[in-house]
Amino acid sequence: MEERGSPDGDPARSLEQGPQGQETPIQVVLRVRPMSTAELRRGEQSALHCSGTQTLQVSPPGGGPDVAFRFGAVLDGARTQEDVFRACGVRRLGELALRGFSCTVFTFGQTGSGKTYTLTGPPPQGEGAPVPPSLAGIMQRTFAWLLDRAQHLGAPVTLRASYLEIYNEQVRDLLSVGSPRPLAVRWNKTRGFYVEQLRVVEIGGLEALMELLQMGLSRRRSSSHTLNQASSRSHALLTLYISRPRPQPQQMPPLDPGEPPASGKLCFVDLAGSEKVAATGSRGELMLEANNINRSLLALGHCISLLLDPQRKHNHIPFRDSKLTKLLADSLGGHGVTLMVACVSPSARCLPETLSTLRYASRAQRVTTRPQAPKSPVAKQPPRLENEMLQLQEENCRLRFQLDQMDPKAPGLHGARGAWAQRNLYGMLREFMLENERLRKEMSQLQSSRDLAWGEQQVLAQQVQELKGRLLSACSIWPGPAAAPLCPYLTPAAPCHEPRHRGADRSASRDADWEGGGPLGSPTACGAPKHPTCAERWSRGCKPGPEAGGPQTPDQQLPATWPEPATTQ
């Protein structure tokens, strides 16, 4: 007996190990529907037999070799909807979505194998007629559990939902106000693939969510053919966006109001069933729909086959080949957690399609993803801060290495390490803040002193200019009929002479004062603080030299007062 697949264990138990950053395989659960009334009436035999909880045995009716497939869980036709919900581990997916992860549940299989029944239960019997609770599918049970779980959390939880279908390679909004119209699928670096202008509705409670689901199911395309009386003719995706407010530590700055809150995503995908046109008897529009369905499923299988390649990082995954693969790109090879429910028919008449589905599911459970929760906006730093952070981390590692290389037996080293370990980081930060504040005050005082000294310097400079002006005005007055000469002490004349009885020492001191400045007659000679002004020299008895019109001999005395200048007529 040939065995296919690999035992991955319970999906819920595998996910409890913590998917953050680790490669997690796609979890696959197989469900075998019971024989239908029409199949029993035709006398068809079952070709599938469940051997335990994880193995399915396929026995061809022609007597060929048996083939066994192993999955995370195998559910036969006797299992109820509640058993399927518990075995699939959808509750664990809901917990991960509340923690911010992106989770996906999708069903796959041949048309008429029970995919829509597994997800949403039987079709509604009338307008607004609810599905019986015992027949509710995975989606209704997940909604009820999720809302009940959100009520027991400490922080409020906001639920929003979108519902779309892919019909003939056109994306249509099942929650649009008017008639559904085609929408474009875009891509950007932050969001990946997304549907533009898709309506997202905020959910107030379980009843509103059930009404939204029923409205989408009623607007979804479906028709009847030989193998299925209510065959879905489109792929449907219902997405729940779960938002929780982020915690605000006291040490962290407040978040940007434009930044979205921490949110997870839980997506339910009901794939249209693959079908053979000859077996279903489809013609016209049904044939066109079947061709588009098979084409998108073929593109999905091709992407899964490439994802199994060990060198897939160097290969191009053609997610852009169809709208379905674009919207499932993150679930298959991205950062999400994915659960696949493969549905098969036990009838021997459908054995070729059943084997195709089993091989498809066996390959899918070997595809791995790297689940990652969205990063906090506080952690999104500019490149400059990221580089600085890396440098500080490298320096920290280098210092730790140097500290480890030191001799642990050195005296005082253990005490230093202990003291360093016991220091409070908050206390260190407080000390640095106080020191910074003290330095800031000191710098402010120095700036004030500098400004005051600058002001005093300006006042003194103004006073010097005023004194220079007054001195020039006083020296311009001279007695006699001729024009008034300049001040004798502003002309390059010989040094003035003082009386001899004053002594040689005072004369030498006076000459040294005169020789210390610039040439006589310049503003520096009379304006510099080292040299006395003209008035001071006259008061000391100093006389101008002969070149300036003064006495010819140093013994001649100066007049007590200056005569009034003659008035020029």
Binding residues: 109-116
Give dist(CA 238, CA 74) in Å, integer: 25
In sequence order, the 6+-apart residues with CB closer than 8 A to the CB of 535 are 471, 474
Check residue 470 and give left, alpha or beta (phi > 0: left; psi -120 to 50: alpha): alpha
Element at 25 (helix H, strand E): strand 24-25
Phi, psi of 415 (to 5 degrees): -65, -35
Tell me which residue has tokens 């040094």: 495
User: What's the first-to-final CA gap in the chain, in angstroms?
Assistant: 145
Give dist(CA 104, CA 97) in Å, integer: 10
Whose CA is closest to 162, among 103, 232, 240, 262?
A: 240
Instruction: Give the count of beta carbons closer than 10 Å to the beta carbon of residue 372.
Output: 16
Instruction: Give the count of beta carbons closer than 10 Å to the beta carbon of residue 304.
Output: 21
Give dist(CA 55, CA 434) in Å, integer: 69
The two three-digit tokens of residue 348, written as one number: 């021997």
The two three-digit tokens of residue 228, written as one number: 């299925």
Give dist(CA 280, CA 266) in Å, integer: 33
Q: Which residues contribute to the annotated binding site for ATP?
A: 109-116
* Whole-number Cα distances in Å, 449 to 26, 435, 442, 461: 73, 21, 11, 18
Rounded to 10 deg, the angle between the 81-88 and 138-151 helix axes is 60
- Antiparallel, parallel or unpaired: β 67-70 and 2-5: parallel
Give dist(CA 53, CA 68) in Å, integer: 13
